[in-house]
Every structure is written in C-alpha cells, then in structure tokens.
Amino acid sequence: MRSPARKKTVNLTSTLKMLNTIDPQFRERLADPLWRLNNLYWIENKRGSMQRFAPNAAQLRLHRHLWHRNVVLKARQLGISTYVAMLMLDRCLFTPNFHAGIIDKTLPDAEQKLEKIRFAWEHLDYLPPHADEADQSLACLGYLIKQQTGCLKKGELHPSSDARGRLAFTNGSDVRLGTTLRGGTLQLLHVSELAHVSVHAPWRAREIRSGAINTVPAEGTIILESTHEGGRYGVNYELTSQAMENAAKEELSPLDFRFFFMSWFDNPDYALTGRAGWTDAQAAYFEKLESECGVQLSHAQKLWYTRMERTMGAAMRQEYPSTPDEAFATGNDGAIYGSQIARLREQGRIGAAFEYNPQEPLYTAWDLGLSDHTAIWLVQNYGGHVYWLNHYAANQLPLEHYAGKMREWEMSYGHIAAHFLPHDAAHRDPHGHSYVESLAAAGISAVRVVPRTPDIWRGINSLRGILAHSWFHRDTLQQRVNPRGEKEPSGLRCLEMYRTAPAGAGGTYRETPVHDACSHSADAARMFAEALSHGMVYPVQMRLSARRARM
C-alpha cells in the first residue's frame, strides 16, 4: 500500500536558495532525538488528516524511560505502535547500518506499521497549507535527509529498496517485517500483540521468544507492546510478569525487561461530555479504582467508560484495563467453559483450601493425548457436589511415571476407587498390549474404560453441567514447569483456556475445540463427566458404602 499522492513538497531550486536562511540552531537540534521526533515526521491522524507527529503523554513516558528491553501492557489506541514506527525511522535515518524489525500477529498488520514509516519518510519534505518560515525550514531539512538516505528514480527521491517486506535506505539502514524474524541481527525489534499470538498460535510465540528476541544484542532495543488476552498463561504473560517483577530491582541489566502499564485513563481523549449518570455498581467500581490507583477520574472520563462498557461488555476490561490485574483476569474468545469458571470464581469456589473427605471414594479421570501427552484429575463426588482435589499433566514420560504418581496420591489421600480412562486405553499396541493392561502390570488396578461419546459436545455439556456444582482446590491452580523450563498452565487454567478454533477465512466460525497445551487437561475433566453420565461413578460409591456397612 502506497502513501496518497497528495503531498506538497519543496523543490530542489527553492531548497538550495533557503539553505542559507535555515535557523543555525537546527544543526544542534538535529542531535536531539526528541526534537527530531517532535518536528520532522508526518503521520495521518485518526481523522485521516495530515499532522506533524508529536508524542502524546503515553508515548513521551515510554520514550523518556525507554530501556534496552521493554514490555508495554496497554489499553487500545494509545498510539504506542505509531511512536515505535517513528522511533524506528528516526534511528534508521540518523544511524548508518541500523537494522530494525517488526513482528505482528499477521503480515498485513505488520505491513500497516511499515506503511507508517514509509509515509513519514516520503513526507519529510511536506509543506502544509499556509506554511510559515519554520515549516519551510523543516521541509528543507526533510528534503536534505531524503537526499542523504534515498535515491533518485524518475526525478523523485525514493528509498533504496521497498519490496518484499523490507524498506531500506542508502545509508545501509533498513526495516523488515515478519511473523517470527529468526536470523540476522537487529538493533531495534518491535513485537506487537504478542498476547494474541500466545493464545492463538502459541508455537509462534515460543519461536518469537527463542528466535527473534535473541537477534537483538544486549545494547539493542526490544519493545513488546500488547493488549493482553489469555489470562495468566502463555509467553506474553510470562514475559510481562517477569518485567513486573523487575520493577522491584534497584538496577536493571540490559537483558532485563522494564515494565510499562498504560491504562485507559492515561488517554485524555477517552472522555465524553454529557449529563448522564451510571449505575451504583459502576460508581463503586470508580470509587475503588480511584482509591487503589490514586487517580481522580473526571465526570467526562467516567461517562466515556460507562458508554464504552455498554458496547464492549465483558471485553471492556481486556481492551481497556484500569490495572494489570484486570487485564490478566480476562478470559479468551471462544472459551468453552469460561462462563462457568467465571461464575465459580465469583462464588468463591476456586482456590479454596478445603480438605478431602476420607469417608468418600476418590476417583481419577485421564486423557491420553497425542504425542504422549497425559493429563489426570483427582476428584471426589458426593453430596451433590464435585470436588476437584488435584491435577497432574506431563508429556513424553513412560507409563510407570504416571503409575508412580497414582501411588503418590494414594499415600497422600488414600485408596483411589476407580481410574476412568478414555476408550482408546483399551486399544492394543503393535505388541498386543493395551494401556489398561500395562497399568495393571504397573500395579494400578480398578481401571475403567469410559465408552466413546460420538459427539464431543455432548461430553462438553455434561462437564458444563457438573461445573455448576463444583469446587476446585487450590492445588489445581498450581503451575508446573516443563522440561524446556517453561511454565505450563494449571489444571484450572486449562479449563478456562479450552476454546473453539478462531474464525476461519471469511469470518466463518468453527465449532471445533482447539487441540493445544490446555486441551488434554480439559478432555480429562470431560472424561469424569462422561463417566458420571454413563453411571460409572455411582456403582463404585454404592459398593464402597455397602462394604462400610458390612464392616
């Protein structure tokens, strides 16, 4: 996409005549990056009009405190990506052989950011209507900068290269874009919407962390900016939480991330005039926000928030968070059990420290996933409630490992009455052995194979039904660390993150659950719901009760 051909620029003859009249202080000012950002570059504003870029409060705060590595958790439309685009251009123009990179959730999104840079370079010599002497001097400077960094083609100055996701200049500097950017060396890397990538393409988020981030040396600059999604899980959450922890350090190393949070009320444009009011619940929210954050919200800000919340609904605190905790507490699009888990959290049924009932039977529910993923829940069911006591998941470990985990649980909790496994546990391997038989050989008996449910949504709805009567022990909230040293989601978090696939081409929604790091634990929980619906839980309880009666 090319910039609109509407610019009015100085010509070479007038430029040469004006060189002698340019303010001599400009030469000194050109050494100041902030002056350059405030004076040299043109952008298109939200109304589609040309304006000279001048950092707003949020952009200025980031600029003044910019570190080698930076994480920006933010509300929508604060202009951070525009600031980074102008910073990239400025460093490319005034630092020879400077290499910058842009990563976004999609290539078209990255191209939009590159277009901001292209637009600003092409309009370095732009003369606004009714230009004064300062405007003319700045346009002359802009023309000289274009001469130094561009090349003449068909009578006009152009970047030395502008193709295939790369914008290059004659001083050896360039900006390239991609979705991972592994390889090469960059002095400035901008990663936008990593939270979205972490949720919808976690493998690519891991590639960005292990690949792209390592292309930037310690003395370089990395800016990760994102509106958060996915709750307290994923690459973006891990990097953001690490940056938040770094705030307590007296001194950061060049490899430590600095944390920035930009809330909705940091944008003065988020205000509305009017005399309308708000609900008691919203008033209480504003009062709590002012008390905890030390801010004083105006009537106009409160009115803007309430009207936006009416439109955004549950997504308001994700798109326009007031605090980092609000951003982390939000769910994710397409969450299959999201509303049920949210209701349990409101009722205080998640993270409790209740004791298991030694008078009631214990059960486990398993999922044997692809690539050797295995997930297991420890559950009790009595008194009209389901108590989720513990959770375990691992990958690429032998069957004996899981048998050992069952013995460990029995040492802590007591005898497990039944282990519910999916139907494929009865399938035989090439050696003629089934998973059930192998468990028995490892000392794990009382294994019950749950019949296959033809429609996965029947099982999902069964689990939704029992979630309404569930309690989750705080042990189900514990994260584990995989062999790569990465934190994996807790059992409860897996249920929250279990979701349908995002919309496909043309916006077509899919009713297929996503298979990822969360799906195995969600499927294991569903296995217990299906066992319950098949009547496989109650008979065990009855036999145990009868056995106690005979004792």
Hey, what CATH class is 338-550 in? Answer: alpha beta
Q: Is the pTM value of this prediction over 0.85? A: no
Strand segments, DSSP code E, in 39-96 are 42-44, 50-52, 69-74
Q: For a pLDDT cut of 90, what percent of the chain falls above it?
A: 58
DSSP 8-state assignment for residue 243 = H
User: Of the ranges 177-186, 462-471, 504-513, which one carries the lowest mean pLDDT score?
Assistant: 504-513
Residues with Cβ within 8 Å of residue 512, at least 6 apart in sequence: 500, 501
pLDDT of residue 233: 76
pLDDT of residue 547: 44
pLDDT of residue 332: 62
Reading the block at residue 270, the tokens are 């988020």
What are the C-alpha distances in Å from 374 to residues 266, 326, 520? 45, 32, 7
C-alpha Rg value of the chain to the nearest Å: 29
pLDDT of residue 192: 96
Place of tokens 């060396």: 185
Model confidence pLDDT, tens digit, residues 213-234: 999 999 999 999 999 987 777 8
pLDDT, average across residues 428-448: 83
The H helix count followed by the E strand count for the chain is 21, 21
**Of 535 and 509, the one with more pLDDT:** 535
Name which of 521, 203, 531, 534 is nearest 368 in CA terms. Answer: 521
Name which of 176, 197, 188 is nearest 106 in CA terms. Answer: 197
Reading the block at residue 298, the tokens are 């105006």
pLDDT of residue 169: 97
Residue 428 pLDDT > 80? no
pLDDT of residue 164: 84
Residue 39 pLDDT > 50? yes
**Of 233 and 373, the one with more pLDDT:** 373
Rounded distance between C-alpha atoms, residue 48 and residue 50, angstroms: 7
CB neighbours (10 Å) of residue 448?
18
Q: At what angle do helices 519-533 and 456-467 cross, to 10 degrees?
A: 80
pLDDT, average across residues 193-213: 90
Residues with Cβ within 8 Å of residue 340, at least 6 apart in sequence: 464, 467, 468
Reading the block at residue 240, the tokens are 């953001």
pLDDT, average across residues 471-483: 86
Q: Ramachandran region of residue 44, left (φ > 0), alpha (ψ -120 to 50) or beta?
A: beta
What are the C-alpha distances in Å from 184 to residues 99, 162, 181, 283? 9, 19, 8, 52
Phi, psi of 107 (to 5 degrees): -65, -40
Rounded distance between C-alpha atoms, residue 156 and residue 167, angstroms: 17
Residue 486 pLDDT > 80? no
Rounded distance between C-alpha atoms, residue 34 and residue 161, angstroms: 27
Residue 22 pLDDT > 70? no
- Report the chain's mean pLDDT, rounded to a whole number: 87
pLDDT of residue 364: 97
What are the C-alpha distances in Å from 436 to residues 203, 358, 428, 433, 450? 32, 26, 9, 8, 12
Strand segments, DSSP code E, in 217-368 are 221-226, 257-262, 350-352, 362-368
- Among 3.30.530.20, 3.40.50.10310, 1.10.10.10, 3.40.50.300, what is the CATH number of 12-262? 3.40.50.300
pLDDT of residue 151: 93
Every domain of the chain and the residues it spans: 12-262, 275-329, 338-550
Residue 212 pLDDT > 60? yes
Q: What confidence tier does 369 reach under pLDDT thresholds 50, 70, 90? A: low
336 neighbors 348 (Cβ within 8 angstroms): no
Reading the block at residue 23, the tokens are 């303010």
pLDDT, average across residues 244-251: 90
DSSP 8-state assignment for residue 451 = P
Model confidence pLDDT, tens digit, residues 286-299: 999 999 999 999 99
Model confidence pLDDT, tens digit, residues 152-169: 988 889 999 998 899 999
Phi, psi of 71 (to 5 degrees): -120, 125
Beta strands 174-178 and 99-103, pairing class: parallel
CA dihedral 289, 292, 294, 298 (to 10 degrees): 10
179 neighbors 106 (Cβ within 8 angstroms): yes
- Measured between its terminal Cα atoms, the distance across the chain in Å is 81
Burial of 534 (0-12, 13-18, 19+ CB in 10 A): middle
